[in-house]
């Protein structure tokens, strides 16, 4: 994830398991709040078969797409989007994991922000961070993880002269 230029950028790699020769319809949710603007630049790519995934439907709440497990019960999907930020708050949806009734075996997250942004509130505290002088990168690593809340970041802009 990245916050830059009044946008929230999300790009993730998702490792999925399913039954061989099965088709699944997946709903990829986007955060909805009056403090968030439109979602654009939505892109899905099947890294296993090296093919673009064309969503069946995309709106500001979600994107719906089908995946075909074919001859393999494992698949790797790349998903990304950009969302306009209308305030100093960004959100990444995690709570939908509860609908699967199965925790994430492993989840690794990172948030990149310019050095002139200071995070004032993390809904889920990061485990580590690195400051390069130009950017700060926050890290989370979770195992057997059932998220009870979304990742929400509230932030302020630091004066340029600091």
Average pLDDT for 10-26: 89
Please state, for a pLDDT cut of 90, what percent of the chain lies above it: 81
**162 within some domain:** no
Instruction: Let me know: does 88 contact 36? Beta carbons within 8 Å.
Output: no
The arithmetic mean of pLDDT across residues 66-83, rounded, is 91
pLDDT band per the 50, 70, 90 thresholds, residue 81? very high
Q: What is the CATH number of the domain that holds 91?
A: 2.60.40.3680
- Hey, what's the torsion of the CAs at 126, 127, 130, 136, to 10 degrees? 0
Answer whether residue 35 is part of any domain.
Answer: yes
pLDDT, residue 159, reads 74
Total domains in the chain come to 1
Mean pLDDT over all residues of the chain? 93
Domain housing 22: 2-157
Whether the predicted model's global pTM rises above the 0.85 cut:
yes
Structure confidence at residue 38 as a pLDDT band (50, 70, 90): very high
In a domain, 63, yes or no: yes
> Which band of pLDDT confidence, cut at 50, 70 and 90, is reported for residue 162?
very low
In a domain, 81, yes or no: yes
């Amino acid at each position: 994830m990245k916050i830059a230029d009044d946008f929230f950028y999300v790009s993730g790699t998702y490792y999925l398991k399913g039954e061989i020769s099965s088709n699944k319809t997946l709903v990829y949710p986007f955060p909805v709040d009056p403090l968030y603007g439109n979602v654009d630049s939505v892109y899905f790519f099947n890294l296993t078969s090296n093919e673009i995934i064309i969503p069946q439907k995309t709106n500001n709440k979600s994107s719906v797409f089908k995946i075909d497990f074919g001859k393999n019960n494992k698949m790797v999907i790349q998903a990304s989007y950009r969302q306009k930020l209308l305030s100093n708050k960004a959100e990444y949806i995690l709570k939908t994991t509860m609908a699967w009734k199965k925790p994430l075996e492993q989840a690794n997250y990172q948030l990149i922000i310019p050095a002139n942004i200071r995070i004032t509130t993390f809904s889920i505290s990061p485990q580590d961070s690195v400051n390069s002088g130009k950017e700060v990168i926050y890290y989370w690593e979770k195992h057997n993880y059932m998220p009870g809340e979304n990742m929400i970041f509230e932030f302020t802009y630091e004066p340029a002269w600091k």
